[in-house]
């Protein structure tokens, strides 16, 4: 019912030349599981990625988009520019954006609405900190983040992807157990269902907490997990291949 998605968040890695080289390696991979593949390079590498991806079935994503059409927003990038480069998806609200650049639930919603207005598909990130996990309020946190992010999305909900990324698992090598991740993602889907009804069953929800070749199979076997937002394992073709071909 929901096509799996494996999306690589390259973060601040890979120059334009390195981006082209990695994509050429990725294009040689077998995609035996039939997942939709997305790569999300740095903004400065998007043009090189777009050119390198021509003729492939790999989709292009960006790591951020601003909520204004244009203006005095130094360092930001507007939706129209991303569209012109062939970008289809955009990551919004990643925990590193929240931690280092002041992203809030409100600005996540604003950026998501602008992305949808421009015809981009947002990959909206939600997740709890270690302290929140220890306090036992994971589900409350991620459900509230989800509901705020989706304010006024309306019928566009089916163009939204959610990524559950427990903050404590990003870049640490730690990961939620498959059952734990599945339960949290089920809660997120339940929150979407409260607002959007049956459309929630068509929204893809990814897991974004240190998914790699060793744990991808067990995570993807869970009924609520529709794919992965991959960090470190997306930066080398052989590692990414191990996640893409999770069966």
Q: Is 165 a catalytic residue?
A: yes
Whether residue 128 lies in the annotated active site: no
**Active-site pick, 94, 96, 128, 224:** 94
Helix ranges, 68-221 (H)? 79-84, 95-101, 105-117, 130-134, 138-149, 178-196, 216-220
**Strand-pair category, 36-40 with 121-126:** unpaired
CA distance 75 to 19: 21
User: One of 36, 96, 165, 224 is an active-site residue; which one?
Assistant: 165
| Residues annotated catalytic, as ranges | 94, 165
């Amino acid at each position: 019912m929901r096509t799996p998605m494996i999306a690589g968040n390259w973060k601040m890695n890979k120059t334009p030349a390195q981006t082209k080289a990695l994509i050429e390696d990725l294009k040689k991979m077998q995609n035996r599981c039939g997942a939709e593949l997305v790569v999300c390079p740095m903004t400065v590498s998007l043009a090189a990625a777009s050119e390198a991806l021509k003729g492939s079935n790999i989709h292009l994503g960006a790591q951020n988009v601003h909520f204004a059409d244009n203006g005095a927003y130094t360092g930001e990038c507007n939706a129209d520019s991303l569209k012109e480069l062939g970008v289809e998806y955009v990551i919004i609200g990643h925990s590193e954006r929240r931690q280092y650049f002041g992203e809030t639930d409100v600005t996540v919603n604003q950026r998501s609405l602008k992305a949808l207005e421009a015809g981009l598909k947002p990959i909206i990130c939600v997740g709890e900190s270690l302290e929140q996990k220890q306090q036992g309020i994971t589900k409350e946190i991620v459900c509230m983040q989800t509901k705020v992010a989706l304010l006024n999305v309306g019928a566009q909900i089916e163009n939204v992807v959610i990524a559950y990324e427990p903050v404590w698992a990003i870049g640490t090598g730690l990961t939620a157990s498959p059952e734990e991740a599945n339960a949290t993602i089920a809660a997120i889907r339940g929150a979407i269902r409260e607002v959007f009804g049956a459309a929630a069953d068509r929204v893809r929800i990814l897991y974004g907490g240190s998914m790699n070749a060793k744990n991808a199979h067990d995570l993807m076997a869970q009924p609520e997990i529709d794919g992965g937002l991959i960090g470190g394992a997306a930066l080398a073709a052989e590692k990414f291949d191990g996640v893409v071909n999770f069966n």
